[in-house]
Structure 1
C-alpha cells in the first residue's frame, strides 16, 4: 500500500451531521449560496439525508456558531450577511490570537528570499518602490493541524531591518506588529478552491473551499507589506462584532 493510500484510509469517516454541515458550508464558501439565500428547511435536509431532526439541527447549529448562517423564526435559516469592512480593520496577530484561545500554536518558515519586484506586477512595483522585496512563505498551525498558509512580501525600502530578522523563529506578522506601527490598511476577503500545492500544505482535499485574506499596510504613506493568508474553509471563519444605535 502506498503512503498516500495509507494516509487516505487512516482518516476517520465524517459523521452524518459533519457531512451535512460540510456540504452546506462548501455551497456558501463557493458562492453558490449567497448572503440572504435560504438554505433547505430542516425537514428537506432530513429527507435528503434520511436522518433525524437532531442530526440536521446539530449541523445547522454549527453553521450558526461559525457565523455562516442565521436562523429566522418561522422563516428558516439563511446565509449570513458578511460583517461590514469596519469590523475587519484590526490587524490580527495569528500567534497571539490562537494562544489567547488556548490553542497550541506552531509555525514553520517554508521559503525566504530577497528579490526584485516583478515588473509585470504593479502591486509589487508600488510596494518595492526603489528597493527590493523580502519574499516569505510560511505555515501557521493550531493544535497540530494546518491553520493558515501565508505568502508575504515586505518592502525593504520601508523596513530595512526585516532583511536581518530571523523569521524562522518569529512569524513575520508578529514581528511587523512589534516593529512597524501601521497607519493605513486595505484588505480583501474572498473564497477559492485549493490547488494541489495549497491542498498539500493545508492537508485538505484538492478543490476544497478556502477563505483568502489579502491585506496591504502602510506606515506614514510608505508601503510596508502585502500578505495573502489562505485558511481551510471548514476550519475557519472571520468574526466581527458591531452594534447599531437607533
Structure 2
C-alpha cells in the first residue's frame, strides 16, 4: 500500500522532470539542469532561482593588485594597471553551482575598489552599476583538477563547462570572468535569426 502511495506521489514529480524512470532499474531524482543564454549576460541568481532552489554566494577571495602579464592579455591592456581579482562560489541549495573567477579593470571601474560585495555578488553589481557596450563569450570544457574539485564538491576529473566573458564600456575593458559549472547540470542556449543580405 505504501509503495502505491509513493508511486502516486512521484507522478507529479516525473511530469515536472524531477524524477527519471528507468525500466527494470527504478526511479531516480534527476539533478536540476540550468540554462543560460549565450548572447546575454544572465545573473547567476536568476539561473539558480529558475531551478526553484535557494541561492547564496560566498566571496572566497578579494585582492587588489597590479596586473600581471596574464591579466593584461585577458583584459587587452597595453600597460600595467591596477585590477581587482575576485573569486566567488555560487550555491544552488546545498550544492555548489558555479565558480566565478573575475578581474575588474579599476581604471574603468574605480568604484569597485570600495565595494565589499557582501550583499551583492560582483557580476550582479557590475550589471546594475556599469553600463557595458560590448561583450565576448568563449566556451570550452575542462576537467576538474584537485583544487577545483575541492571548491565545487565534485570528484577530480569531473567534466566542467567553462564560460569566459569579457565586457567593454565605450571601448574600455571593464571585466573578464571565468564561470565554471561542474558536471552536466548546465547548458548554453542561443536563439538567432538568419542574417539579412
Q: Which residue pairs with 1:198 in the alignment?
A: 148
Which structure shows the higher strand fraction? 2
Aligned residues: 170
Equivalent-residue separation in structure 1 for 2:188 and 2:112 (angstroms): 28
Q: Which residue pairs with 2:171 in the alignment?
A: 221
3-state SS of the aligned residue for 1:140?
A: strand
Structure 1, unaligned stretches of length 5 or more? 1-51, 68-86
Q: Deviation at 1:99?
A: 2.5
Bigger shift: residues 145-154 or 226-235: 226-235
Structure 2 residue 190 is the aligned partner of structure 1 residue 240 = yes
Q: Which residue pairs with 1:179 in the alignment?
A: 129
Change in 2 beyond 3 A, CA 1:191/1:221:
same
Contact (CA 8 Å) 1:111, 1:137: kept in 2 or not? yes
TM-score normalized by the length of structure 1: 0.61
Q: Which residue pairs with 2:23 in the alignment?
A: 54
Contact (CA 8 Å) 1:130, 1:157: kept in 2 or not? no
Equivalent-residue separation in structure 2 for 1:134 and 1:168 (angstroms): 15
3-state SS of the aligned residue for 1:186?
A: strand
Question: Out of 84, 92, 110, which is 2:42 matched to?
Answer: 92
Contact (CA 8 Å) 1:119, 1:125: kept in 2 or not? no
Structure 2, unaligned stretches of length 5 or more? 1-20
3-state SS of the aligned residue for 1:237?
A: strand
Equivalent-residue separation in structure 1 for 2:162 and 2:24 (angstroms): 30
Displaced runs of 4 or more, over 3 A: 127-130, 240-245
3-state SS of the aligned residue for 1:234?
A: coil
Q: Deviation at 1:53?
A: 7.1
Q: Deviation at 1:230?
A: 0.6
Change in 2 beyond 3 A, CA 1:235/1:97:
closer
Equivalent-residue separation in structure 2 for 1:128 and 1:236 (angstroms): 35
3-state SS of the aligned residue for 1:238?
A: strand
Q: Deviation at 1:228?
A: 0.3
Equivalent-residue separation in structure 2 for 1:214 and 1:179 (angstroms): 21
Q: Which has the higher contact order (CA 8 A, sep 6+)?
A: 2
TM-score normalized by the length of structure 2: 0.76
Please give the residue correspondences for 1:37-116 in structure 2 after superposition, counting only pairs within 5 Å.
54=23, 88-116=38-66
3-state SS of the aligned residue for 2:123?
A: helix
Change in 2 beyond 3 A, CA 1:180/1:53:
closer
CA-based RMSD: 2.9
Spell out, residue by residue over 1:209-243, the C-alpha distance to the aligned partner (whole angstroms, 9 max, x if none): 00001000000000000000110122222233456
Contact (CA 8 Å) 1:108, 1:138: kept in 2 or not? yes
Q: Which residue pairs with 1:148 in the alignment?
A: 98
